[in-house]
A and B are shown apart, each in its own frame.
Chain A
Amino acid sequence: MIFNSLTFVVFFAIVLALHNLPFSWRQKKLNLLVASYLFYAAWNPPFVILLWVSTVVDWWAAQWMVRSERQSTRRAWMIISVVVNLGMLGYFKYGNFLLENFTLAVNAAGIAYQPHKWDIILPVGISFYTFATLSYTLDVYLRRAQPAKHFLDYALFVTFFPHLVAGPIMRPTELVPQFEQPRRASANMILFGLTLLTIGLFQKVVIADGLLSPIAESVFDSPKVPLTLDAWAGVLAFAGQIFCDFAGYSTSAIGIALALGFAMPDNFRFPYAAVGFSDFWRRWHITLSSWLRDYLYIPLGGNRHGPARTYMALMGTMLLGGLWHGAAWTFVVWGGLHGLYLSVERWLKGRFGGWRPTKAQLFGLAILTFMAINVTWVFFRAKTFAGAGTILASMAGHAPGGVPLLPGFDLLAAFTVIAAIFLSHWAMRDTTLEAVIQRTSAWVLAPLLGLMAFLVIIEQGRGNAFIYFAF
């Protein structure tokens, strides 16, 4: 089930009520575990088996790693864990993609081969929980963390419904300790958690789905060539949509966990105010970028083996990061572009490291960064390279046969909303939402929250899935 659904409202009300009844801590954890399995099974019950497989394999792999004195045995268990997890991810997420590309390759080699298409359904959130559970065995293998003391705590870490299907991607060291001691949310925690949930749903239902998604669809899904203005509006609308969709999910998830008494990490830090691309990745999908850094970029050599190796590690990490988002070459190009941006930025920093920009120059660089990020979103959203090429050409002012695609209201909505998002990110780039709320009058907060909740209700989200569920 998804957060913006009636089913979830009832589900969460029941879970919250149960969690605040005078059960033992163990019983409360069992309640949360069962609720989390129900939350996941509400999509496709058989896929709960995959969760169990991941949970059990990684639990035992970590147990055997700790019990073994020999490095080769530890490594073997780590490899088993990686193979099982990535094997399931590879089959369900990349099976069709690999088969299609294999077929293309052998056909190009002159071999007539046409296999039956695999009818594989992508289990919701498999990329997220695979990374979460992998970090457990990897941290234990790297001796960064002790294994969980109790299977229940570990199973709940993997399955805990607020982060299960779309992050934030949590590390075991962040969550397992929270299950070890009884935790109870205070009234203020519950109410602030519900406040975050309201803000998250407002971002998702009203802004992403209601206002921006139809504009992006009109441009990206049209067979016609858009005029330059329309192309930019469509891309900016998607930039706003994907931020509000995903950050909205993370904010909701953090709020839900908080209402239950648990703390989850920030996943976004006003990313469109980033100055440069490394800054962007320290602000966008923080739990994924830090995961890739810790378990891919650093093991690939990081910046410890000279510039050439660093650039290779950077590109490799970003290309695989692109592929993580979706089984298509357009996602790989999206990742590759980010890798290129990061590499160029790294080189420029090496040459002009002493330069200290003024506030105005910083603002200009933020706009430049945002524009470059928008170029990458074209590959993220377009279904084909031809489609991406058409949009990019139109953005560059080359739109032969171009026609206006968007009504005046859509143009106004796209530019206004994205300007508001960009400026609010800029205004809040060195602070937190909590700090802003702290200094805002209750006379402003209350009607604003009431209004947001009202707008969520009258937008009547049709339960559109969050974009990142597909990843």
Chain B
Amino acid sequence: MPPVGTIHEGALPKGLRLTASDRPGQAQPVPTRDIPTRPWRAIALAALIVMVACVAGWEIWARSAGLRTADIGDSPQKWAEMRASVKPDDLVIVGDSRILFDTDLAHFQRLTGVYPKQLAIHGTNGRNLLENIAADPAYRGLLLVGMADTSYFRPVKAGAGVGAPWIDGYERNREPSQVTGLTLDRWLQQLFAFLDEDMRLSRLLSRVDHGWRKGVDSPYDDVWKVDESFPGRQRFMWGEIEKPGYLQTQARLAWGYFKGDPGTPQGIAEVIARSRTAVTGIRARGGEVIFIRPPSAPPLRVNEEKRLPKAKAWEALLAQVPAKGIHADDLPAAQGLDIPEYSHLSRTCATVFTDAYVRRLVTLNDRVRLRADAPPPLSTANCKGQLAGAPLRPN
């Protein structure tokens, strides 16, 4: 039965109304829209109650899974906002998830008085970000380029990975609607724990597939949530991954122990050549670049070394590019750190590693110095328990 008030023209089947396709070559009249005669107020109220109840249940479930409102998430818009805030003399960090998760920005600030602009992106090739900064004609600051070798020396044609749309979408993500959306998102993220990329319905649904089809990687084997995000694009490993158990094991398996094809000499040479061009450009404007290689656990490191031996990749890079480097192997205070899922440091060990590399950093350049009131050096022992220190404080 059509709604009351339905206006029918012509000889359409009962229940249909005419559209422009039924009236060729004529001025189209003001459209008619039927309003079904239903108890709309009661329906709306009941629908609202159902929606609120379901959202409340979902929120309780998310919190019981270990998600927190303090975790405000990261996004291309946040990256674009940070990228836009970079001033010519700023200290900037680029790279992949290792330098992103393994750097404690507040501790960096406690040591040096500088809160770096964190521009690293998970799943991304740091070289692309180095080139992005190098393409900025105004930039002449200190740029720290973090790397997981297998990511940094990925063939040039492979692109920037996860970060490609973040980098390419920079202009779009600075549009007024994106900026206002980001502001609202920040507010909501502080209220609801379920507003997490990894809690998206479609993402959870796809994970019910535990390898149903042979020959295809199951989404279940992909990395799920491994980190938390805080203001200033500070990201740390998620506490649930640090606990032995299913999530930690799953995260370890997700990395596949970094097995893969070895880097080719041509590929390595091309990456080094591109890096040299980018670094030379920054140095020509008075800037400086320092590479940093955070640690990885032995089960991964052995495969990383097979694919990209330190002498052929890291050392060749430093030999051919006008930049210095800090390798985790060369930092005594950064040995034996806790790397729960083999690729990224635990929350507290990230602070210890930051402490170690910043103390080395200040010896390699004169742009950042240790503050006179800098806290004493940390050691592996500080990885245990909760570290004291100022709360996270972005500029």
Q: Are A409 and B205 in contact (CB under 8 A)?
A: yes
Q: Are B38 and A445 in contact (CB under 8 A)?
A: yes
Asked if A450 CB lies within 8 Å of chain B CBs, one says yes
Q: Are B2 and A286 in contact (CB under 8 A)?
A: no
Q: Are A450 and B24 in contact (CB under 8 A)?
A: no
Q: Are B213 and A404 in contact (CB under 8 A)?
A: yes
Q: Are B17 and A432 in contact (CB under 8 A)?
A: yes
Q: Are A447 and B47 in contact (CB under 8 A)?
A: yes
CB distance from A465 to the nearest CB of B (A): 9
Given the contacts A1-B177, A42-B177, A449 and B43 also touching, CB distance less than 8 Å? yes
A171-179, A325-333, A349-357: which one contacts chain B?
Answer: A171-179
Q: Are B219 and A409 in contact (CB under 8 A)?
A: yes
Q: Are A187 and B16 in contact (CB under 8 A)?
A: no
CB distance from A366 to the nearest CB of B (A): 16
Of A269, A293, A407, which one neighbours B219 at CB under 8 angstroms? A407
Question: For residue A175, which residues in chain B have a CB less than 8 angstroms away from its CB?
Answer: 30
Of A7, A44, A186, A187, which one neighbours B180 at CB under 8 angstroms? A7
Q: Are A5 and B47 in contact (CB under 8 A)?
A: no
Q: Are B1 and A439 in contact (CB under 8 A)?
A: yes
Mark out the residues of chain B between 171 and 222 whose CB falls within 8 Å of any chain A CB in the assembled complex.
175-178, 180-181, 184-185, 188, 194-195, 197, 199-202, 205-206, 208-209, 211-219
Q: How many residues of A are counted as interface, with CB atoms below 8 angstroms from the partner's CB atoms?
A: 85
Q: Are A434 and B2 in contact (CB under 8 A)?
A: yes
Given the contacts A435-B3, A439-B1, A450-B46, A460 and B197 also touching, CB distance less than 8 Å? yes
Residue with the greatest number of chain B CB neighbours at <10 A, chosen from A287, A293, A458: A458
Q: Are B27 and A263 in contact (CB under 8 A)?
A: no
Mark out the residues of chain A between 417 and 471 whose CB falls within 8 Å of any chain B CB in the assembled complex.
430-432, 434-435, 437-439, 442, 445-447, 449-451, 453-455, 457-460, 462-463
Asked if A313 CB lies within 8 Å of chain B CBs, one says no
The proximity string for A residues 142-181 relative to B, scoring 1 for CB distances below 8 Å and 0 otherwise, is: 0011000000000000000000000000010111011000
Question: With the chains together, A251 CA to B1 CA distance in Å?
Answer: 21
Asked if A405 CB lies within 8 Å of chain B CBs, one says yes
**Closest chain B residue to A218 by CB distance?**
B216
Q: Are A263 and B30 in contact (CB under 8 A)?
A: yes
Residue with the greatest number of chain B CB neighbours at <10 A, chosen from A258, A290, A291: A290
Given the contacts A43-B177, A430-B16, A177 and B54 also touching, CB distance less than 8 Å? no
Question: With the chains together, A139 CA to B26 CA distance in Å?
Answer: 9
Question: For residue A463, which residues in chain B have a CB less than 8 angstroms away from its CB?
Answer: 178, 181
Question: For residue A290, which residues in chain B have a CB less than 8 angstroms away from its CB?
Answer: 19-21, 23-24, 28
Q: Range of interface residues on chain B?
A: 35 or more
Question: With the chains together, A283 CA to B19 CA distance in Å?
Answer: 9
Question: For residue A453, which residues in chain B have a CB less than 8 angstroms away from its CB?
Answer: 47, 51
Q: Are A438 and B44 in contact (CB under 8 A)?
A: no
Asked if A41 CB lies within 8 Å of chain B CBs, one says yes
Q: Are B39 and A442 in contact (CB under 8 A)?
A: yes
**Closest chain A residue to B54 by CB distance?**
A454
Q: Are A407 and B177 in contact (CB under 8 A)?
A: no
Q: Are A7 and B177 in contact (CB under 8 A)?
A: yes
- 23 CB < 8 A contacts A-B: A5-B181, A6-B180, A10-B184, A42-B176, A42-B177, A174-B31, A175-B30, A214-B202, A258-B33, A265-B28, A281-B21, A294-B25, A408-B213, A409-B219, A434-B2, A434-B6, A435-B1, A447-B46, A449-B43, A451-B50, A454-B51, A458-B194, A458-B201
B residues in contact (CB < 8 Å) with A: 1-3, 6, 13, 15-17, 19-44, 46-51, 54-55, 58, 75, 175-178, 180-181, 184-185, 188, 194-195, 197, 199-202, 205-206, 208-209, 211-219
7 extra A-B contacts, CB within 8 A, seeds A290-B19, A435-B2:
A7-B184, A210-B201, A407-B212, A432-B15, A438-B38, A450-B48, A460-B199
